[in-house]
Structure 1
């Protein structure tokens, strides 16, 4: 079980779309505004885990045309999230985002988050510590995962909110928002490159 805990910690502290979007919302809109998104992210993550554990993800991703459609949908939605972060509080030619992403956005992100499927598959297909009782092993893994997941994401949200509350110049805040959005796009396109 120790190996599982270590794997969860290292898989979660590496920035992925969920973490970067959470920090970006914190920076752009503040800590409280990010809690709804975080709740959706957690609920969507649970559903994502059930999709992985049930084998449905493997079944769906085995169909090449469906895999391409899901991949394009994922990339499109993650680019949209990056734009929302980058445009919050800025004066660029697009209409700036005036309200934070909420619960539904967080939940939807987990359905198209490539890192969530990779993490779920890695954690639930490996690190067996109760092979005689796989049901309770899955239950314990979900509990352990969420006990670690929540504080890590709250820390990222707080870090983003701290950056956003520093009363920085508008251009500096815009650079931070754009930097967060670019980091998200780098993760997205790295995942895209790896899947091709």
Structure 2
């Protein structure tokens, strides 16, 4: 179980769409508006985990056209979120975003987030420590993953909020928002590259 917990820590703490958007929205909008988004990520993560545990994710991802639809949806949504972060507080009327996405936005991201499926699949299927008790293993894995997931995402949110609280000049805050958005685009590029190699 300790090996599993260590793997969870290292796989979840690495930057992916969830933690990047959490920090980005924390920096752009502050703690309370972004906390609703993190709650959505939490719900979405657990739905993805459940789909992996039940085998539903394997069935869905085995259909090539459906996997491609999910990838295109994921890339499109990540681009949208990157734009929300980059233009937070901007005076460009067609793009200004005054509030962070809520619970539904977080759930949607995890539902189409390739990293969420990859991480959950490798953790749930790759570490068998109770082969004679499937239910015990799945319940303890869910508890361990959530016990690590929650503080990590709250720490990323706090890091983003800390940037927000520095009362940086508008120009510096805009540069940080754009940097966060570019990091998101880097995640998108990595996801596309990874998908093209596996096809």
1:15-48 alpha-carbon deviations (Å, 9 max, x no partner): 0000000001100010111111111110111101
The answer (yes or no) to whether the contact 1:74–1:113 under 8 Å persists in 2 is yes
Following superposition, the deviation at residue 66 of structure 1 comes to: 1.3
Q: CA RMSD in A?
A: 1.0
Q: Which runs of 5+ in 1 are unaligned?
A: none
1:22 aligned partner: 22
Following superposition, the deviation at residue 91 of structure 1 comes to: 3.2
Query: SS at the partner of 2:99?
Result: coil
Following superposition, the deviation at residue 93 of structure 1 comes to: 6.4
- Quick check: 1:130 aligned with 2:130? yes
State the TM-score, normalizing by the size of structure 1: 0.97
1:112-155 alpha-carbon deviations (Å, 9 max, x no partner): 11110000000000111111101110100000000010000000
State the TM-score, normalizing by the size of structure 2: 0.95
1:142-186 alpha-carbon deviations (Å, 9 max, x no partner): 000000100000000000000011111111101101111111110
Query: SS at the partner of 2:18?
Result: helix
1:120 aligned partner: 120
Following superposition, the deviation at residue 94 of structure 1 comes to: 3.9
Q: Which runs of 5+ in 2 are unaligned?
A: none
2:188 aligned partner: 188
1:177 aligned partner: 177
The answer (yes or no) to whether the contact 1:87–1:94 under 8 Å persists in 2 is no
The answer (yes or no) to whether the contact 1:129–1:137 under 8 Å persists in 2 is yes
Query: SS at the partner of 1:167?
Result: coil
Distance 1:69 1:39 in 2: 25
The answer (yes or no) to whether the contact 1:27–1:160 under 8 Å persists in 2 is yes
The answer (yes or no) to whether the contact 1:26–1:160 under 8 Å persists in 2 is yes
The answer (yes or no) to whether the contact 1:44–1:108 under 8 Å persists in 2 is yes
